Structures are given as C-alpha cells and as structure tokens.
C-alpha cells in the first residue's frame, strides 16, 4: 500500500478544528447529550482523517461520515468538528474525477437525509428544516470543490500549452540555426571552391607555359596545383560532413536551396535591385553604398544577406507608413552595413523564433566571418541593425565605383 504522510497544512487544519471543537464542547447547551469519553473519541475520530484529505479523499470522506452519524444519533451537541465533513465533501469534489465525486457525494447525501428522517420521526428535537440544511451542507461544499477542480484543470491545460509552445519555439529556433549554418556552408563552399579551382587551373597553365624555365619554378607551380587539388578535396569532404550532420534540419529547405543554387551568387552589386524590390512591396528605402575597396566574394555575399534579412524584418514589423535606410561602407579592412527603419521597431519573441532565419541567421553569418552584429530599438522609434564584417583588399585591381542610389 502506498501510505503517504499527511501534509503539514492539513495537519494544521485538523489541529485548529480540534481546538475549536473542544471549545465548542464547553459552550454546548444543557439540553443536548453531555459529552463524555465516547463523545470526545467521536470528535477525534471525525477530525483526525482531515490530515489526509488530499491524499485519500474517498477514504477520508467515509472515515468522517461514520463518527458524524454516530455523534448525531447519540444526540451530542453540534461542534465545529462537523466542519470536517464539509472539508471531506469539498475534497471528494476537488481531488477526484467528477463521476467518482458524484457517486460518493450522492451516497453521502442519501445517508445524511435518511439519518435526518429517522431523527425527525423518532425524536422531538430535530426540525423538518434540518432536511434542507443537510442537503445544502452536502451540495454547497461539493459545488465549491467542482469549481476548484475545473479551475485547476484550466490552469494545467494552459501550463501544458505554454510549455508546448515554448518547446516548439525552441525547436524552430534550433532548426533555423542549423539550416542557416548549412546554407552558409554551402555558399562558402561555392565561393571558396571557385577561387581554389581558379588558382589550381592558373598554376597548371603557368606550369605548361613555363616548361622550359627553371626546374625550381616548375616544382613550385606543381606544388601549388597539387595543394589546390588537395585543399579542394578536403574542403568538399568537410562540407559534406557538415551537411550530413545538418541534414535533418534542412530537409524542409532543400527545395529553396536547390533553386538558390541555380541563381547567380548575390553580391553588393545586387543590393540596389533588392531595395527596389522592397520598395515595390510597399516599404520606401533610401540606399547608400560608398567606398571602392575590394571586398572578397564571401564577405559580399554575407553583407547582401544581412541587408536582405534586415529589410525583411522591417517589412514585417515596421508598420504602415514606415521608411527604411540602408548604408553600406566599403573600407580596406571592413564592410559596415547599417539598416534602420522608423516604424514601431518591435521584434517580438515570436518573430525571433519564427520559421525564417531572421536575426539568428544574421548573427550566424556575421559571427562565422569573425564580425560583430548589433540590433535593437532605435533612438526615436524604429529598429536598427548594424553589422561589421572584416575584409581585406588582397587582390590586384579595383572594381568600378558603386554609385549611390536613392530609394524613393
């Protein structure tokens, strides 16, 4: 048997009832049966089970009902000990299923009414109004118990729903991070693989052109070509492992990635078209791209993605009538991207953990390159995203100067 110890709160209730009952004994009228040792034992028998009223509500109900019936039958005066029966009736309704409570409560009501009828017929001190009093004494505590039971049910449902919602948000956020990492790995693979392939082919071509040159030059070119092929193979193997570990998270995004692979790799030169697309969607954008420093392809790609995600968030959350500004500064050692809007600037938790990559995706991209990302409410209203991506101008030549375009 699973015999559980009583709770301290219920022990305190039983002790208080016992004290009140003993006080009530001294205040009992002289017309009632005088309390003797049997009377005090019946009081104790009524009150003691209260200490276990939450653990064993059905047993407690019947354990209290029997001494109560004996007390009433003998003719002892009423004392606060009878409140123990009310607590037991409340407990049977509050801590057991409704059908169980109705069965036990109905049986108690029938017994109490029958016992009252016996007193009404065979004694002269039980008025007919006792039938109404007994019925209400059973029904009212049980109604209170049913209300409390229903309230706890609703609270439990709300807590479970809240926990399920939080769990779903955590899963979605984790999937978004893993999917974004896989996407970054794929795009970096495409960029770096292209550069290594060009390097290897250039080394092979130079070796063929310099076949009559110094043997040390030919050996160096051969080493460059071999190292390029080895590095490309190792990179493909490592990216393959990463993709395999992230496969479960990116299954739902495979179609989008397949479509993205067929399109040109986005770069800073594609930002004007992106802002124009956002303007066509209803959000005015003012664009500024300054500087002529060379930016590696991987940095260009990630700068474009940061602008894309920031403008997507602005369209979702900036509100009607908002405007956005995009500033891209190309410097020799870094690329600075600042995207601001003057709308509400509210990025809710639901948006942070939504099915898109959002702010987490931007953070993954920037941190993967060793950069920094800051985002939050903007002074004066709106939202601000600021990303700094490290960059080095390590190639000969310069690209054409990017003109500044107004987004109105």
State yes or no: pLDDT of 125 exceeds 60.
Answer: yes
Task: For 338-391, give the DSSP string.
Answer: EEEE-S-----HHHHTSSS-HHHHHHHHHHHTT-EEEEEEPTTSSEEEEEEEE-
SS3 406: coil
The predicted model gives 251-280 an average pLDDT of 68
Which among 243, 238, 293, 303 has a CA at the least distance from the CA of 268?
303
State yes or no: pLDDT of 180 exceeds 80.
Answer: no
| β-sheet bridge partners, residue 389 | 335
State yes or no: pLDDT of 250 exceeds 50.
Answer: no
Question: In this structure, are residues 279 and 407 in contact, taking their beta carbons and an 8 Å threshold?
Answer: yes
Distances in whole angstroms, Cα of residue 219 to Cα of each of 187, 206, 317: 33, 11, 59
- The C-alpha atoms of residue 358 and residue 338 are separated, in whole angstroms, by 16
Q: What is the pLDDT of residues 12-54, one digit of tens each?
A: 999 999 999 888 888 766 656 788 889 899 999 999 999 999 9
State yes or no: pLDDT of 181 exceeds 80.
Answer: no
State yes or no: pLDDT of 252 exceeds 90.
Answer: no
Average pLDDT taken over every residue of the chain: 80
How does strand 285-290 pair with strand 324-330? Answer: parallel
State yes or no: pLDDT of 172 exceeds 60.
Answer: yes
Query: What does the pLDDT read at residue 263?
Result: 56
Q: What is the pLDDT of residues 318-376, one digit of tens each?
A: 777 888 999 999 988 899 999 999 876 544 443 444 434 467 777 877 887 889 999 88
- The C-alpha atoms of residue 340 and residue 75 are separated, in whole angstroms, by 84
Q: What is the pLDDT of residues 141-163, one digit of tens each?
A: 999 999 999 998 898 888 888 88
Per cent of the chain over pLDDT 90 is: 29
Q: What is the pLDDT of residues 275-327, one digit of tens each?
A: 888 887 778 999 999 988 888 888 888 899 899 888 888 887 877 788 899 99
């Amino acid at each position: 048997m699973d015999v559980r110890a009583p709770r301290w709160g219920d022990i305190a209730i039983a002790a208080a009832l016992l004290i009140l009952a003993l006080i009530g004994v001294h205040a009992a009228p002289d017309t009632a049966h005088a309390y003797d040792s049997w009377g005090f034992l019946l009081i104790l028998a009524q009150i003691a089970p209260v200490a276990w009223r939450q653990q064993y509500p059905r047993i407690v109900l019947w354990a209290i009902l029997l001494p109560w019936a004996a007390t009433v039958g003998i003719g002892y005066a009423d004392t606060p000990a009878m409140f123990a029966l009310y607590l037991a009736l409340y407990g049977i309704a509050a801590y057991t299923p409704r059908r169980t409570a109705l069965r036990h409560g109905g049986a108690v009501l029938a017994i109490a009414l029958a016992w009252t009828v016996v007193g009404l017929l065979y004694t002269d001190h039980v008025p007919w109004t006792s039938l109404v009093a007994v019925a209400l004494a059973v029904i009212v505590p049980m109604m209170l118990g049913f209300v409390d039971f229903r309230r706890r049910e609703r609270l439990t449902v709300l807590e479970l729903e809240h926990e399920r919602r939080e769990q779903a948000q955590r899963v979605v956020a984790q999937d978004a991070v893993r999917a974004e990492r896989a996407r970054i790995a794929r795009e970096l693979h495409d960029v770096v693989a292209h550069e290594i392939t060009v390097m290897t082919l250039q080394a092979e071509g130079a070796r063929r052109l310099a076949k009559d040159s110094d043997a040390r030059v030919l050996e160096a070119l051969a080493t460059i070509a071999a190292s390029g092929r080895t590095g490309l193979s190792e990179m493909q193997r490592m990216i393959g492992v990463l993709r395999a570990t992230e496969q479960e998270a990116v299954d739902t995004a495979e179609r989008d990635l397949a479509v993205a692979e067929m399109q040109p790799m986005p770069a800073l030169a594609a930002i004007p078209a992106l802002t124009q697309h956002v303007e066509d969607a209803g959000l005015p954008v003012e664009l500024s791209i300054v500087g002529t420093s060379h930016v590696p392809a991987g940095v260009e790609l990630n700068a474009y993605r940061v602008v894309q995600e920031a403008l997507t968030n602005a369209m979702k959350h900036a509100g009607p009538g908002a405007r956005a500004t995009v500033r891209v500064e190309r410097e020799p050692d870094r690329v600075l991207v600042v995207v601001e809007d003057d709308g509400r600037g509210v990025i809710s938790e639901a948006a942070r953990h939504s099915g898109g990559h959002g702010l987490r995706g931007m953070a993954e991209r920037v941190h993967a390159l060793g950069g920094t990302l800051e985002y939050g409410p903007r002074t004066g209203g709106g939202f601000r995203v600021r990303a700094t991506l490290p960059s080095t101008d390590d190639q000969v030549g310069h690209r054409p100067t990017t003109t500044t375009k107004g987004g109105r």
